[in-house]
Amino acid sequence: MAKVINPDICVIGGGAAGLSVAAGAAAFGVPVVLIERGTMGGDCLNHGCVPSKTLIAVARHAQAIRMAGRFGLAAGQPVVDYQRLHARIHEVIAGIAPHDSVERFTGLGVEVLQSSARFVDENTVAAGDHLVRARRFVVATGSSPAIPDIPGLDKVSFLTNETLFDLTRLPAHLIIVGAGPVGIEMAQAYRRLGAGVTVIESRRALSDADPELSSIAIAALRHGGVVLHEATTILGAEQDGGRVVLRCENGGGVFQVEGSDLLIAAGRRPNHASLGLAAAGIDHNAKGIEVGPNLRTSNRRVYAIGDVAGGLQFTHVASYHARLVLQQMLFRLPAREDRTIVPKVTYSDPEIAEVGLSETEAREKFGAVDVIRTDLAAGDRARTDGVEAGVIKIVAGRRGRILGVGIAAPGAGELINMWSLAVANGMTLKQVRGYVAPYPTLSEIGKQAVISYYAPLARKAVVRSAIRALRYFG
């Protein structure tokens, strides 16, 4: 007979979103059951953010060795020990894993069930030999790699982000299907490590980013030796011995791409098919579980957060969603998701970081807006560091309110933090103008951009007349 559990909150999914809810609720002494069928930590720890950023860091060091001659150093070409690199990736994962472990959460007071979960009715979830009847449920089951419908792909060996970091050898020639953030990040990293890389994209590369910003990253990618085919259809795939062959077509006609390995990075699909959502009266579709602005589903007992909710797919969004649902469940306070305050970063070199409304979105919503652009190369720190390309782009509305900011620069993911704070708090250009930026830093280029916005005031006749008048008072 199944054991019945009656916690206050049942969380389904032990990734970033679910762990944040479970830890937050347990901290206030609330009874919580957490159900996870796989490895604790979810995609971010095991297959996503952590291993990919570790690989990117190694590739950045390799590129620094390669470029050392520009700074008067003799270094030459880096020698990549890929087995040691592989070990490094898994050492980093292992170092973080205890923070997300069953043992830690059990210690926090969370009851962890290592099993699949399935709704059996609107109020009950079955998990192994347990039935969980909770006051509230939070579905945080994340997403998995989406596999495109390419003829012949089912007969070809290919990698996804879930298997890529198990490689113990450097691919001779890596073909990547998809030029979103994951595809572009991995393309540049593997090229810097010495692999040949070809990327195939059916649309524009980094199509969700501001074209002005993404063009800078794409130019650097191509300059580094990555072959990129945009607006290209894959007609078929086949395995030819140890080679993968893709037959493609674009405006230039039909052509073939051959490589040693194939990485599918063509987006994500929500993990919700096995949850028995219909039994719980939870509306959903191929894009994810349908939620309102408060992240509540059509079943008022159930919230859906993170990737499975079908919105922005970032680990920091998962943490943001967790805070919103905890606010509602624990404190009965209203909460609404605001996607304009969520920063987006592509960890290429240069990085692309954006927050708030893009120029196009701002014009559609408000009509006339001011757009301030400043080249990063104009800053002194960019010159000392040898940064040749980059830009900050600030979109401002009435009375100088900051509506959105985009940055293409080394470390743009760090530089966007201040601007995320500004957008989230409705700050104005005047407020930014008043802060003191340390010199020399890349971040001071933002302050320079704001000053350039006010520079025309110095040439206005009324301002100059006022200054002349004030001179008479000593």
141 is annotated as contributing to ligand binding: yes
For residue 471, what pLDDT is reported?
A: 72
> Does one domain contain both 260 and 273?
no
Residue 228 lies inside a defined structural domain of this protein: yes
Q: What is the CATH number of the domain that holds 436?
A: 3.30.390.30
CA pair distance 289, 273, nearest whole angstrom: 10
CA pair distance 429, 206, nearest whole angstrom: 29
Please choose, from the candidates 23, 39, 22, 28, the residue with its C-alpha nearest in 3D space to the C-alpha of residue 136: 22
179 is annotated as contributing to ligand binding: yes
For residue 474, what pLDDT is reported?
A: 58
For residue 388, what pLDDT is reported?
A: 86
474 is annotated as contributing to ligand binding: no
183 is annotated as contributing to ligand binding: yes
> Does one domain contain both 273 and 262?
no
Q: What pairs with residue 12 in β-bridges?
A: 35, 139
Q: Which two tokens stand for residue 282?
A: 């939870």
413 is annotated as contributing to ligand binding: no
> Does one domain contain both 138 and 7?
yes
Angle at CA of residue 414, ends 364 and 423, nearest 5°: 35
> Does one domain contain both 92 and 203?
no
The answer to whether the CB of 259 falls within 8 A of the CB of 268 is no
Residue 470 lies inside a defined structural domain of this protein: no
Asked which of 266, 294, 322 is the last residue of a domain, the reply is 266
Angle at CA of residue 33, ends 31 and 35, nearest 5°: 170
CA pair distance 281, 288, nearest whole angstrom: 14
**Residue-wise pLDDT tens for the chain (474 aa)?**
789 999 999 999 999 999 999 999 999 999 999 999 999 999 999 999 999 999 999 999 999 999 999 999 988 899 999 999 999 999 999 999 999 999 999 999 999 999 999 999 999 999 999 999 999 999 999 999 999 999 999 999 999 999 999 999 999 999 999 999 999 999 999 999 999 999 999 999 999 999 999 999 999 999 999 999 999 999 999 998 889 999 999 999 999 999 999 999 999 999 999 999 999 999 999 999 999 999 999 999 999 999 999 989 999 999 999 999 999 999 999 999 999 999 999 999 999 999 999 999 999 999 999 999 999 888 899 999 999 889 999 999 999 999 999 999 999 999 999 999 999 999 999 999 989 999 999 999 998 899 888 877 656 676 566 667 767 775
CA pair distance 177, 198, nearest whole angstrom: 9
For residue 352, what pLDDT is reported?
A: 98
365 is annotated as contributing to ligand binding: no
Tokens 């404190």 — which residue? 331
Question: Is there a cis peptide before residue 51, judged by omega within 30 degrees of 0?
Answer: no
Q: Which two tokens stand for residue 249?
A: 């077509």
> Does one domain contain both 167 and 131?
no
Q: Enter the DSSP assignment of 294.
A: T
Q: What is the CATH number of the domain that holds 282?
A: 3.50.50.60
48 is annotated as contributing to ligand binding: no
Quote the number of domains for the chain. 3
Please choose, from the candidates 44, 47, 45, the residue with its C-alpha nearest in 3D space to the C-alpha of residue 161: 47
Residue 471 lies inside a defined structural domain of this protein: no
267 is annotated as contributing to ligand binding: yes
386 is annotated as contributing to ligand binding: no
Please choose, from the candidates 184, 223, 209, the residue with its C-alpha nearest in 3D space to the C-alpha of residue 408: 209
143 is annotated as contributing to ligand binding: yes
Residue 231 lies inside a defined structural domain of this protein: yes
Burial classification of residue 462, based on how many CB atoms lie within 10 Å of its CB (0-12 exposed, 13-18 middle, 19 or more buried)? exposed
Residue 465 lies inside a defined structural domain of this protein: no
> Does one domain contain both 218 and 284?
no
87 is annotated as contributing to ligand binding: no
The answer to whether the CB of 295 falls within 8 A of the CB of 309 is yes
282 is annotated as contributing to ligand binding: no
Residue 429 lies inside a defined structural domain of this protein: yes
For residue 464, what pLDDT is reported?
A: 65
180 is annotated as contributing to ligand binding: yes
State which residues form the domain around 235: 153-266
